[in-house]
Amino acid sequence: MTQIERLAEWVGDGGVVVLSGAGLSTESGIPDYRGPTGAARAATPMTYQAFTRDPAARRRYWARSHLGWRTIGDARPNEGHRAVARLQALARVDGIITQNVDGLHQAGGAHGVVELHGNLARIVCLGCGALTARAEHSARLDAANPGFAAAVTRINPDGDVDIDDAALDGFAVVGCVSCGGMLKPDVVYFGETVPAARVSRSFDLVAGARTLLVLGSSLTVMSGRRFVVRAARDGVRVAIVNQGPTRGGPYAELTVDAALGEVLPDLLHRVERAAIPR
């Protein structure tokens, strides 16, 4: 029995919880950090402390993020996202936990997704807590910065880009329309803690699963790996589909090193075929 055949049997049993990472979105044009399409980042990702305390860092971030949103916002779900949504519709996938902030699971038809690190399509006010759509915020930034353009040298998976700092001169940041407060994307920065309710919900999903299926994550950071550790500890089967090495190897009963855009449609086909009465 091949690894794909075995995985199809596990998924066909139902009770699957998906834990997805950046590797699931690379075929939608969003790079990852550590997989085959990733590259070492030239600068440290924005921290919450720098964003809130340093006006220059905040202006630099918003300029880069404003340009990056044009790529992230235009990204479309790929065959992998659609396969996961179809498996959910077939009642084989009971829950989806994602480390991604691109919203592509939902765009691909999935529902009830736990977004561990938030979603770039939302903007939150740190003063009054008001949420606004990213499209509305982008329109305000366009109006405040007519003609702003810069040469993009790299697109980063967390939604910003690398540009020459000289291009930042004069870029204007806008505040909350309700209270004038500081705005940030509704995502978890380095130095922030994932909201406890999301973590609790994720652990609950894992506790009720037969299989934890990791898709496109190297599990380098503990934010995602902790769910794999808990699953293995509690006797939940762990399967990993990822291109390249992961830190989940010691916990996984089944590992497939292959492109998700190839594996997931094949997996879906096998599960659908097995479900047809004979």
Which are the catalytic amino acids? 117
How many Å apart are CA 244 and CA 248, to the nearest integer? 12
Q: How far is CA 149 from CA 14, 58, 63, 185, 249, in A?
A: 49, 18, 9, 21, 44
Extract the tokens encoding 31.
Answer: 């790079």
Q: Which amino acid is at 72?
A: I
How many Å apart are CA 209 and CA 207, to the nearest integer? 6
Q: Provide the sign of the torsion angle of the four alpha carbons 191, 197, 202, 204, taken in this order.
A: positive
| Interior angle at CA 6, CA 90 and CA 216, nearest 5 | 70
- Percent helix, strand, coil in the chain, to 5, is 40, 15, 40
Q: How far is CA 247 from CA 63, 115, 193, 202, in A?
A: 34, 21, 21, 19
| Interior angle at CA 77, CA 140 and CA 184, nearest 5 | 30
List b or e across 38-58, with b for residues whose CB sees 16 or more CB atoms inside 10 angstroms. beeeeeeebeeebbeeeeeeb
List b or e across 158-178, with b for residues whose CB sees 16 or more CB atoms inside 10 angstroms. bbbbbbeeebbeebebeebee
